[in-house]
Amino acid sequence: MDGGARRVIREGDWAVLKRNEVFKAVPVARRRKIIFEKQWFYLDNAIGQIYGTTFEVTGGGNLQPKKRVEETATEAKEAGTDTDNRNIVDDGKSQKLTHDDIKALKDKGIKGQEIVQQLIENSTTFRDKTEFAQDKYIKKKKKKYEAIITIVKPSTRILSTMYYAREPGKINYLRYDTLAQMLTWGNVHAGNKMIVMETCAGLVLGAVMERMGGYGSIINMYPGGGPVRAATNCFGFPDSFFQMLYEFPLSKVESVLSGTFSLKALPSESEDSMALAEDSNGSGDDKQQLTQDADMESSAVMESNQPEEQEAADLPTEGEAFDNNKAKGTAHDKEKKQEEKRKKFVETAALLKDKNADGLIIASRFHPVPLLLSLLEFVAPSRPFVVYCQHKEPLVECYTKLREKGGVINLKLSETWLRSYQVLPDRSHPKLMMSGGGGYLLTGITVTNEFVKIGEETDQAASEPTSKKRKLEEHC
């Protein structure tokens, strides 16, 4: 029942709009105007439909499920394969329908499929084109005049493709095949305790959360004042998924490693600002007492000088009372959120202090060497780690530092390569346009240094008899 409900488009969900090879993630809401590929519409009629349904935009911006119809046989099929394009001249006069005629057809409410058919019938050169050229012409006109939109459920593959095609800089040019390699090398699965440090708009974090399915725990390390999770929100995870998510700033990592971090309740922002004000302006108790005395004196003077007829006028009205209650409620909610945030912060520090994480994934625009060396301290032995970088040189430096430091094995620096293919009858070939690179990955497995030292001592003990024998030979 729950699985079937997840396959249905519901209000409040996040959905991905697909038109040809263009994607856009939007929240599903009633009477919310969506603009996608120069077309505006509402998602009201899509609510209750199954994900993957194809819709057609009709008049008034309404969506109607498109019925599957068989492709109509064009005149090219009847004409055979004897035609070619050698005598076709692109002089702009082959189409009899003008721009005004097409606009008039749209105003009459004629569907895009009928407009495409009329364009084919009024084209003087369509019959002379080859079969492939005719199919290309039809696809081009359908893309322009047919408002066909497919609504699909967000996933790691779809969102990574969307970001890489539209805004690759926001995800550090992380390609979806490289992201799949990261999830595989990181051994991400349900029940794990993962540490994720990324500046890819939350795409890597969302991929890890989707793979873990709401079971386990994820510690999201972030720089600055807070994490950026625009892509994570597009997944549309339920609230239970965020209960397993913990946040921790990078600025507090050194205090946890050195043991100076306190697990006691942290002061709230208001207390911090008050303490700063007291330190900068002098004794807070004296000033507070002076302020209270002044307020009492002023209120006494106002009460003694206030006429009786104005007392009723100065009473708060119903609207003012509502505003005051709302302000008190807002302040109470803010304090409650701050308290929950501080409690979660302390829990996250306790999780890090155990130093038993099951994996580490880093995909950041910052230099990976200091991040990797510090965050590896929280990973348990025999656990994998993955570091992504758009360029190779920082990962080469990471490789060298880890080899010098020890505590890791099976270090591997790799680059993924992907090429898309067009698969059509008699036209299967690699696509001409492809991405230049998908970045580099540094992978490895953590080990404890004690076993390395034991191995070194064993090797040294085995070499001692040989050295004594050589000294005896030299003496003789």
Half-sphere exposure in the Cβ direction for 214 (13 Å, CA): 9
In a domain, 434, yes or no: yes
What average pLDDT does the segment 172-197 reach? 94
The pLDDT score that the predictor gives to residue 25 is 93
Q: Which domain holds residue 137?
A: 75-149
**One-letter identity of residue 53:** T
Query: Which percentage of the chain shows pLDDT scores above 70?
Result: 72
Answer whether residue 110 shows pLDDT above 50.
yes
In a domain, 137, yes or no: yes
What the block records as the tokens of 213 is 């399915």
260 and 145 co-located in one domain: no
59 and 104 co-located in one domain: no
167 and 119 co-located in one domain: no
247 and 382 co-located in one domain: yes
Q: How many CB atoms lie within 10 A of CB 361?
A: 25
The pLDDT score that the predictor gives to residue 141 is 78
Rounded to whole angstroms, how far apart are CA atoms 378 and 259? 13
The pLDDT score that the predictor gives to residue 86 is 67
Task: Name the H helices within 306-410.
Answer: 318-354, 368-375, 393-405
Answer whether residue 269 shows pLDDT above 70.
no
* CA angle centred on 80, ends 79 and 84, rounded to 5°: 90
219 and 104 co-located in one domain: no
The pLDDT score that the predictor gives to residue 424 is 83
Answer whether residue 394 shows pLDDT above 80.
yes
Domain ends where: 49, 67, 85?
Answer: 67
What average pLDDT does the segment 197-224 reach? 94
- State the DSSP H helix or E strand holding residue 310, giving kind and residue range, or none if neither: none
What average pLDDT does the segment 367-384 reach? 94
In a domain, 307, yes or no: no
In a domain, 167, yes or no: yes
User: CB of 122 within 8 A of CB of 96?
Assistant: yes
Answer whether residue 180 shows pLDDT above 80.
yes
CATH number of the domain that 34 lies in?
Answer: 3.10.330
The pLDDT score that the predictor gives to residue 182 is 95
Domain ends where: 118, 149, 180?
Answer: 149
382 and 407 co-located in one domain: yes
In a domain, 309, yes or no: no
352 and 241 co-located in one domain: yes
DSSP state of 22: E
Question: How many domains would you assign to the chain?
Answer: 3
In a domain, 294, yes or no: no
122 and 258 co-located in one domain: no
Q: How confident is the model at residue 262 (pLDDT cuts 50, 70, 90)?
A: low
Strongest mean pLDDT among 51-55, 222-226, 416-420: 51-55
Q: How confident is the model at residue 178 (pLDDT cuts 50, 70, 90)?
A: very high
DSSP state of 363: E
The pLDDT score that the predictor gives to residue 279 is 37
CATH number of the domain that 408 lies in?
Answer: 3.40.50.150
In a domain, 291, yes or no: no
